[in-house]
Amino acid sequence: MKTSEDLKQIVKDTYSEIAMQSKEQNTVSCCGVGGCATVDYAVFAENYDALKGYNPDADLGLGCGIPTEFANIKEGDTVVDLGSGAGNDCFVARAITGEKGKIIGIDMTEAMIDKARENAEKLGFNNVEFRLGDIEKLPMAANRADVVVSNCVLNLVPDKEKAFAEIFRIVKPGGHISISDVVLKGELPEAVLKASEMYAGCVSGALQKDKYLNIIYRSGFEKLKVPKEKAIHIPDEILGTYLTSEQIKDYRESGRGIYSITVIAEKPLSDNCCTPGCC
């Protein structure tokens, strides 16, 4: 049985390889790394082309939503992007906050941090920074972020309760989150869940939707809403790596599925809770 550290290393190794490739390479090969080992990221990715601040060099096609779409970011805000990759969502957020804002991207993969910093330097941004760090132990003081965004990353974190407790800690009272992520409805076939390659492909680390939302609620956030949800269709040729034809048929007819959701929630103005990280 793999430990939390084993799972983190799988993700880190996979995304280190992805950081060295272009968006085109990532979306034409399964998982973007070494052939058809996992889900094609193009299945999840959203189109950013029309967004102000979009920079193609920072878009590796790894997201499953557009968290800034519902983040209610304002000019001058401090925005933190968790699992910031090559900087895609950070640069979109910066276009909204303007020069008076502060954008902080946090990622645990050194290669992604290096790539993001190169992109920020090319763009000449002096209010966007990237920090190496673990979401379960964020390299930030408490009550600093007006907004926290994240795009298809929290599902990869082994201890999600600790992660959301940390997110709650760094958000200012009255601040909020906008998280795009992958969740499940119904149990996926065990063969899919056990595949470590699938884990790095954003599926087998995912929780049931109700459990995921409950973790956010129990961390201290309130006014939870899901303004966007869409079913993810995994092609038969990808499922066929793990399942027989009969198993795929049963899966399709079962009503079970994988969904991309965006969750928004607020941190109360009065911090009277006693959940981990907030008292």
- Distance CA(192)–CA(185), nearest Å, equals 14
| 3-class DSSP state of 227 | strand
Cα–Cα distance for residue pair 27/31, rounded to 1 Å: 8
pLDDT value at residue 248: 84
Expressed in percent and rounded to 5, the helix, strand and coil fractions of the chain are: 40, 20, 40
Look at residue 262 and tell me whether its pLDDT is greater than 60. yes
Architecture of the domain defined by 4-266 = 3-Layer(aba) Sandwich (3.40)
In three-state secondary structure terms, 268 is: coil
The full set of domain ranges for the chain reads 4-266
Q: What is the pLDDT of residues 192-249, one digit of tens each?
A: 665 434 544 556 678 999 999 999 999 999 999 999 998 877 778 777 878 889 988 8
Torsional sign, CA 133, 134, 135, 140? negative
Starting from the edge strand earliest in sequence, which strands make up the sheet with 78-82, in order?
128-132, 102-107, 78-82, 145-151, 171-185, 257-266, 222-232
pLDDT value at position 40?
45
